[in-house]
Structure 1
Amino acid sequence: MPHTVITLAHPFDFARWRAATRDLAGRHVPTDAITWQVATPDAPPPPPPSGENSAPFRIPRETMQLAADVIQSALPDRFALAYGLILAHVIDSAPDAADLARMHEAAETVRAESLHLHQNLFSLMQPEGEGGTWHGTLDARTHAPESNARFITYQLSLAPWRLTLPDRELCWNGRKLLDGPADAPTPIAFNSLPPPAVPVVTDLDIERITSLRAVALAAKTCLVCPMARHATQTVFGEGQTTARMMFVGEQPGDKEDLAGRPFVGPAGQLFDRALEEAGIRREDAYVTNTVKHFKFQRRGTRRIHEKAGRDEIRACAPWLAAERRLIRPHVLVMLGATAASALLGRTVTIGRERSRPIGLEDGTTGLVTVHPSFLLRQPDEASRTREYERFVADLRLAASHLAPTDA
């Protein structure tokens, strides 16, 4: 079998390693027939193989994460070890016991350094000067700092930062991630990094994040509750950061899960129509949900909405609290009992509390109304018309509580 040379963009290039592994392991290329090397600054790597002639395969999440952890390590043969782990799974053989032991030991070191960075970030990093830049020093033995660059960036609210490491400097200049010698760092693509050994949201102090965009980016990585592993993606809120009206529903539906945006399905289209009739421009408001992932049951090819439970609401509460803290709306409209109960901290019956302004502890005026999906469930046209008009009246009532300068 001819020898294959795979050139990676940098010493922890997980993206190219994965693309090459998908091709080579799919063709059962043995480990000793591959050489893994890192490109030099004056010779960029060629495109990775397409994998068109390889048999597809699936790898358990835990196995792929172990491979990613190994690639973050300092082992000189880490790419070959990680490849051998995947190949063994593809051809249904046991990995070499000595190699497996080395990989687990390396992964433990990577995990320990990741946890140390997460739990001590604000003692490691300090504000530098008056420009909003942070700087810190870390005695890292692995490439865990690079894989935790997202955590650092989100936790520091997207502000520029520099982390001095024993043989290199890792920094975020507000636009790009740079890594390498302090006098000649090179750009590193976030999407080329191995997934961190510790999830981004672990130990993330959401209350200290001052950028809504940073919160939204962090939420996209969230896998706290099981529901997140089945949904297509996180559906975060959207709208103006200066919005004076905030609308909160229960959770994204099927259309929202696929689009990655809140209130774009049938209920969302009805909501948009009602907003327009009430004289409220959606682009001037902030629209979100209590729960950020779609919870559903499969019935054949269909995905049927399932009501969010207490655990999902609790898991998503920090994200909703951050949206509310950073938006600071004057009027908070709770669409449905789930949103109202979560935000008011008690069981809410729509019939008792609908259309009644509520003074909230932060000075916001709250108002409870139905969720737009309630209108779609009405049994006949007369009921739909009546409930729709009442919903529009609730939206007008909410808008009336904006100060004249905010209207």
Structure 2
Amino acid sequence: MNIQRLSTFEADFQSRLNALLEWESVSDDAVFATVQGILRDVRARGDAAVLEYTARFDHFEADSMRDLEVSHPRMDEALERIPVAQRQALEQAAERIRRYAEHQKLESWSYREADGTLLGQQVTPLDRVGLYVPGGKAAYPSSVLMNAIPAKVAGVPELIVVAPAPRGELNDLVLAACRIAGVDRVFAIGGAQAVAALAYGTDTIPQVDKITGPGNIFVATAKRMVYGTVGIDMIAGPSEIVVVCDGKTDPDWIAMDLFSQAEHDEQAQAILISPDAAFLDAVAASASRLVEEMPRGEIIRQSMEGRGALIHVRDLDEAARVINFIAPEHLELSVEDAEGYAAKIRHAGAIFLGRYTAEALGDYCAGPNHVLPTSRTARFSSPLGVYDFQKRSSLIGCSAQGASMLGKIARVLAEGEGLFAHAASAAYRIRDSEMG
């Protein structure tokens, strides 16, 4: 396997790193036009348009939207049908995700000033959320758990899942995960038409307040285009992993950790950073050997050769600087004193500490969310969490004394801005003895 090599010792390192990290997240004109047409059509014709697009793209002919809604008994059947080990694993993962999410829940708060004025923040859940669960190259019950459980912990009353069902086939694991996570309704639809149905509402599918969950380029484009009508979690790019290693971890472990993200799709990115050049060679040799054993080996090979890299750095301090520039979705710190080293990291979606903490554990069952910022957006954004399903309202309650005092300040500032109705509104509350 021919994996690109970079070195901070070379003068062109930064330009090569920039080229490696480039990923065009903006849809081309053809995708944009297709999605725009689908959104417009679903907004105008509702259920009828959704049925037509489902037949065209998923080859699933349905007479009515009732045929596309999955009943609770059908979800119960899926939960009973899957192997016991899978059911137990889903339940255990769900419990860990729920327990972690409980720590994230925002609570309302307020305080009173000396004059009796109340200031604070009221936290409330969103009313209805739509969760997109992809169904292309693989089934993702873990995405159900990671999106639905934080929403339920936040107190969202209604969760609606949309998941494509090619030729009418729905994955039992996905349906079982929906049942375990407390999803309220499930529709066997996908693509831009599913995003449109959630964003605008149809006779059958109610409009939601926010749409979360990953999808292909058509789904991502649709989410981008409906933002403002509804909220979205993020525009996710291909999966990413950066591993920094001091050379003391088994090369096979590191190679497989890189594969764990490379196998998602050909555009996924896996990068190893180390100050030990011989270790980089050892991992490259492990990767070339192990890829032959992988069922998704061709995807891994294309990902590693197309967007992967082995980066040689002077020392671990320089590695931290490179990591902070990359701002990866997933970061493994396979070094001594990983907890101490983590203090050097400012930009990463999730940080996995130590040689025994495989990133794959975070994808499924560690507890923290696996919906993470990609494409360097970890510089300014955070993992999905309970707080993404809550909103905050400011509380302001003036006493007579407080209204008089604040009124004087507001009047001066409003007159300075030339907004005289603002000034008058504030001045009405100023006590006569303080008019000045």
Settle same-fold status: TM greater than 0.5.
no
* TM-score normalized with structure 1 length: 0.24
Bigger fraction of residues in helix: 2
More RCO (CA 8 Å, sep 6+) = 2
